[in-house]
A and B are shown apart, each in its own frame.
Chain A
Amino acid sequence: AQSVTQPDARVTVSEGASLQLRCKYSYSGTPYLFWYVQYPRQGLQLLLKYYSGDPVVQGVNGFEAEFSKSNSSFHLRKASVHWSDSAVYFCVLNTGYQNFYFGKGTSLTVIP
């Protein structure tokens, strides 16, 4: 069965530090993968997406993610976080058509 696992429910980092949010997916076919961010009391916004090609994809606000087929992973990274990056981050798998699978989210707190 298809699924997405975000093993870290909460992550706290200091401003200026690097960040990695982990995402593992379960799907035997070709995945379409996304990262979304949700700021307090707002809807979800797309950060980046992976369809094929270069396994490292760039997103908005300095975020990037790396796809690994061998590890079934799609980890999100940022070189230097800002306090405004504090939000909840969702990893999402699409297996085609309208089948989207969401992770439970990772709540990021950036300490100034």
Chain B
Amino acid sequence: DPKIIQKPKYLVAVTGSEKILICEQYLGHNAMYWYRQSAKKPLEFMFSYSYQKLMDNQTASSRFQPQSSKKNHLDLQITALKPDDSATYFCASSQDRGNEQYFGPGTRLTVL
């Protein structure tokens, strides 16, 4: 059974629109993260949350907003989409300090 679910798997959007990427983890972890990976850039850290509180934000643009409605959820809202936002977005989770992260399968976003 998948431990980290990301929905949808593929997403196509038009420039200027808004999308929400879903992430749910069933590992009982208290920390969750978002990463972005594109052809132009290697794996890029975006956000980290712990106990539903924002711990670190390395995303310059306010168009990216994480949303944590439950401890095991960390969705990513992206507004005013641009073609440069096209990438695969990975959600991850970990438990406490020093423990390894577990990654979801990713959502592949294409902005036309």
Contacts and interface: CB of A to CB of B under 8 A. Distances in A.
A97 B100 contact: no
Interface stretch (B13-21, B41-49, B74-82): B41-49
A81 to B, nearest CB: 22
A96 interface: yes
- Main secondary structure, interface of B, reads strand
B38 interface: no
Contact of B100 (A34, A96, A102, A105): A34
A98 B100 contact: no
Contact of B103 (A43, A94, A96, A104): A43
Among the interface residues A46, A49, A90, A97, which one has the most CB atoms of the partner chain B within 10 A?
A: A97
Interface residues of B, number: 22
A45 B100 CA distance: 10
Contacts of B102: 46
Given A43-B90, A46-B102, A96 B43 contact: no
Nearest to A98: B48
B98 A94 contact: yes
Interface of A: 32, 34, 36, 42-46, 49, 51, 90, 92, 94, 96-100, 102, 104-105
Given A34-B100, A34-B101, A42-B106, 17 more contacts: A42-B105, A43-B104, A46-B100, A49-B100, A94-B99, A94-B100, A97-B55, A98-B48, A98-B50, A98-B55, A98-B56, A98-B94, A100-B45, A100-B101, A102-B43, A104-B42, A104-B43
